[in-house]
Amino acid sequence: MKFVFPYSALALAAVFLLHGCGGGHDEQAASEVLVQTVAVPDGQGGTATMLLPDFIKLVEQEGGAVVSIQASRDEQAMADTGMPLDGLPENDPFYEFFKRLQPHADPAEQEDNHNFGSGFIISPDGYILTNTHVLSGMDNIKVVLNDRREYRAVLVGSDTQSDVALLKIDAQNLQVVKVGDVKALRVGEWVAAIGAPFGFDNSVTAGIVSAKGRSLPNESHMTPFIQTDVAINPGNSGGPLFNLKGQVVGINSQIYSQSGGFMGISFAIPIDVAMSVAEQLRTTGKVQRARIGVVIQEVSYDLAKSFGLESANGALIAEVMPDGPAAQTGLKPGDIVLSVNGEAVKSSNDLPVLVGMMPPGTTLTLGIWRDGKQQDVAVVLAASQENHTLSARESLPEYIVGEGGGFAVEQAGLQLLPTAQGLAVIQAGGPAQRAGLRRGDVVLMVDRQPVHDKESFLRALGEAHDTVALLVRRGDSKVFVALDLRG
């Protein structure tokens, strides 16, 4: 199981390179609702009742497609100590003598040599989905079915970025799960997990969907996790998350914890993402991702106002990578992506998800907001290069020397110094400080107009409304900051 530990860092923007996976899967017919409701008296002497779902039928019908996974690492390297015991058969008279001389393995090391997890069958001929981290560093994989049959599994492929792995066992006519529609899943809906926490196989826990489209701190990939309050513990990883129709909507993957134990927040990989990855692993053994070649950030309410948008929707392009698809198409910093092939982009998390279902070479139609109006732009996705993350270094640029110099803009609370790179922030107070600007930032644009000296900055500021969008470089990153000029 993977743990997400809380951290206290002020993130100015969620910036990342857009990547996704191609492939897909056939839609399966929706099943009837398996979960019935049970009336529970309110206990107050009245007639009101509370309806709770009864998961018995779901577990009975779908539990047979859930498996336990036992992964282990070969211990030959550990056993090969150079002692005479190596290579001796156990019936050799000297075997027990030399065995006593062998160093004892550390219990923690023994524990590290074994992983326990869960999975579920997606095809009658033995393809199984689970988490990559369950199998990481392991050499031997055993799958135990619900009826206690055991199989040695072959790792078809795994994808670290999505944490999805595909296994294959030599079996036929197996029960398979039904795949649900993640888009139809609603916050507040009941869901259930079946897995093997701590090795207790076929354990069932239930809860509700707390949120959708969650991105997690310190995660390099942009999987739009489903957040639930379903109890998930070590051993549940890789198991299915069911909706009330008995359809799998996610793979249980991580928990958010301060102690390492379950604290009421768990995360599942959406099944559409997992099935897309699985199809590529099955056909090619690897996952090929596409890229648009932009760095994006969330559109805040103040940024939306500064760009003339009525609502804080979309993904704001903070930087366009050179020679990428976006640059070739003519996308620019300050463009806001509102839709992909007609499907709305409500937040910055939506864009990589929509792109992620499409293979390189696909032509997308992006609906963007530019200069106060909406327009469509066609972008051809390119194959992904090596993934990297832009860092926001805290150190000041070398060209800033001393405390004085430059010019002051009282209205904005800024003291700026012209440089070859832009206008370096010497001091930030008032509106600028409240906006998050700080010494060492470099202002590149004001409302999409490049600025390089006092005159260009004041001219752009004079044409702005109450809230202005500044494109700022901080270390290696670029980000838009909304500056409220009303004080």
pTM score, whole prediction: 0.70
Binding-site residues, please? 133, 163, 235-237
Sites in the chain below the pLDDT cut of 50: 5-31, 77-83, 85, 95, 97-98, 105, 107-109, 386-404
pLDDT tens track for 124-152? 999 999 999 999 888 899 999 999 999 99
Residues 6+ apart with CB under 8 A from 249: 180, 181, 182, 185, 191, 226, 241, 242, 243, 268, 270, 271
Entry field: residues in the chain: 487
Annotated binding site for substrate: 133, 163, 235-237
**What is the reported pLDDT for 251?**
97
Q: What is the pLDDT at residue 290?
A: 83
Q: Which residues contact 385 (CB under 8 A, 6 or more apart)?
A: 291
Give yes or no for a contact between 215 and 298, defined as CB atoms under 8 angstroms apart. no
What's the alpha-carbon Rg for the chain, to the nearest Å? 27
Sheet holding 66-72, edge to edge: 150-152, 140-144, 66-72, 114-121, 127-131, 164-168, 154-159
**pLDDT for position 104:** 52
Give residue 348's pLDDT. 87
Integer distance in angstroms from the first to the last C-alpha of the chain?
48
What pLDDT is stored for residue 461 in this prediction? 87
In 3D space, the residue among 290, 304, 407, 416 whose CA is nearest the CA of residue 353 turns out to be 290
Residue 298 in tokens: 């969330």
**pLDDT for res 42:** 56
What is the C-alpha separation between 3 and 261, in angstroms, rounded?
9
State both tokens at 43: 């206990």
Cβ contact 317:334 at 8 Å: yes
- At 217 the pLDDT is 60
Q: What pLDDT score does 44 carry? A: 53
Q: Are 384 and 290 in contact (CB under 8 A)?
A: yes
Domains and CATH numbers, the chain: 55-73+113-287 (2.40.10.120), 290-383 (2.30.42.10), 407-484 (2.30.42.10)
Please report the pLDDT score of residue 92 as a whole number: 56
8 Å CB contact between 192 and 318: no
* Catalytic positions: 133, 163, 237
